[in-house]
Amino acid sequence: MKKVFGICALVLAGVMIFASCGKKCVCTRYEDGKKVMARESGDVRYFDKDACTNQSVDKYHGPSAVVAGKDVDVEIKCK
């Protein structure tokens, strides 16, 4: 019986550790609907998904990050 409780405790501890780990946020930049680049949050980890997705930016007309002097439709999606 002690063995069963020990195994259950280990499984429960593993699940708690896995569930409590924060996730990295990846933000992807789109220009004129095409994926141009993606950046990761580095050492920062998010425990609340909304904290990452709130960094997304709706479409706007602005300068290109690839071609200097060109204006494009820019959208940034974070997940």
Determine the pLDDT at residue 31.
97
- Gap between the Cα atoms of 23 and 63, Å rounded: 30
Closest CA to 29 of 3, 60, 7, 68: 60
Q: Tell me which residues of the chain have a pLDDT lower than 70.
A: 12-20
Biggest CA-to-CA distance, the chain: 72
Predicted structure pTM score:
0.70
Determine the pLDDT at residue 19.
56
